[in-house]
């Protein structure tokens, strides 16, 4: 039987969305609006320091402008200034207590700071405010999975998919959790669903290939490893994954 190569660190990885979720709404017809829109543009173009300065200017004009607070927090978050981001998100929540996005972003920072319990609590608050918040359920599910609470992770991913059936990352993370529970057939289905909704999803192809290999479907596994290689050409962060895929293609008799 041919050896199939693996890297444990890779199999457990999931895609992580690094960007926060700023809100772009602004009060019409004001100086704050034009400066806010400028800040959004700067942030989108990765001019982080200029965006920070612009949002700070907006908040001097309108201190209770929650969208500017959230966007300033997002800029701090991108810059790695997590304590400052936390402060801005809390101030946004103070200005708009029912703002689910501010809570989502705050929870993401707590997760980055290595405070999973605080993050889960705040994700739950965001979901309570917006029951259809798929991203919040997915991110909370990841934290449950990392804590070993696999059933809670599965429940969170299923809630995400109930709200947004085409959420490819939810399918991939659900598949990983189902694999952990020994439910290979269900996991295989979820990986295929992810690929249906996002055909270029690298992790879906890579991890589907492993399940197909374990089931003895070597030709299909080779095809999935090759699909993974196609979708990661010139994509940063996948060098080790690509080596594993190439080794496995060779081990399975492919070329």
- CATH of residue 65's domain is 1.25.40.10
Q: Using CB atoms within 10 A of its CB, is residue 28 exposed (0-12), middle (13-18) or buried (19+)? A: exposed
Q: Binning pLDDT at 50, 70 and 90, where does residue 234 land? A: confident
Residue 85 belongs to some domain of the structure: yes
What range does the domain containing 81 cover? 21-115
What is the arithmetic mean of pLDDT over 189-214? 96
* b/e per residue 194-221 (b: at least 16 CB within 10 A): bbebbeebbbbbbbbbbbbbeeebbeeb
**How many domains, in total, are found in the chain?**
1
Cβ contact 23:108 at 8 Å: no
Residue 197 belongs to some domain of the structure: no
Q: Using CB atoms within 10 A of its CB, is residue 97 exposed (0-12), middle (13-18) or buried (19+)? A: exposed
Residue 143 scores a pLDDT above 80: yes
Residue 4 belongs to some domain of the structure: no
pTM metric for this prediction: 0.83
Q: What is the dihedral of CA 184, 189, 192, 198, to 10 degrees?
A: -110
Residue 188 belongs to some domain of the structure: no
Neighbour tally for 95: CB within 10 Å: 18
Residue 249 belongs to some domain of the structure: no
- In tens, the pLDDT along 15-29 reads 223 344 544 444 454
Residue 130 belongs to some domain of the structure: no
Per-residue CA distances from 108 to 16, 114, 141 (Å): 11, 10, 12
Residue 36 scores a pLDDT above 50: yes
Residue 245 belongs to some domain of the structure: no
Q: Using CB atoms within 10 A of its CB, is residue 60 exposed (0-12), middle (13-18) or buried (19+)? A: exposed
Residue 247 belongs to some domain of the structure: no
CA-derived radius of gyration, the chain:
21
């Amino acid at each position: 039987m041919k050896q199939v190569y693996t890297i444990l660190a890779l199999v457990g990885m999931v895609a992580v969305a690094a960007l926060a979720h700023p809100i772009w709404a602004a009060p019409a017809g004001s100086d704050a609006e034009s400066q806010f829109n400028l800040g959004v543009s700067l942030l989108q173009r990765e001019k982080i320091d200029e965006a920070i300065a612009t949002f700070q200017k907006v908040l001097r004009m309108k201190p209770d402008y929650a969208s500017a607070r959230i966007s300033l927090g997002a800029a701090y978050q991108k810059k790695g200034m997590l304590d400052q981001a936390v402060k801005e998100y809390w101030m946004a929540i103070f200005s708009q207590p029912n703002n689910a996005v501010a809570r989502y972003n705050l929870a993401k920072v707590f997760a980055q700071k290595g405070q999973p319990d605080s993050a889960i609590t705040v994700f739950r608050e965001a979901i309570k405010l917006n029951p259809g918040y798929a991203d919040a359920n997915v991110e909370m599910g990841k934290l449950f999975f990392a804590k070993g609470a696999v059933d809670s992770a599965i429940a969170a991913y299923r809630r995400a998919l109930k709200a947004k059936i085409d959420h490819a990352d939810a399918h991939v993370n659900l598949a990983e959790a189902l694999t952990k529970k020994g439910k290979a057939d269900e996991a295989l289905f979820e990986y295929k669903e992810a690929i249906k909704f996002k055909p270029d999803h690298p992790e879906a192809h890579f991890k589907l290939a492993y399940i197909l290999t374990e089931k003895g479907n070597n030709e299909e596994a080779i095809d999935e490893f090759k699909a993974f290689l196609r979708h990661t050409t010139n994509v940063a962060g996948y060098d080790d994954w690509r080596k594993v895929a190439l080794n496995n293609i060779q081990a399975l008799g492919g070329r």
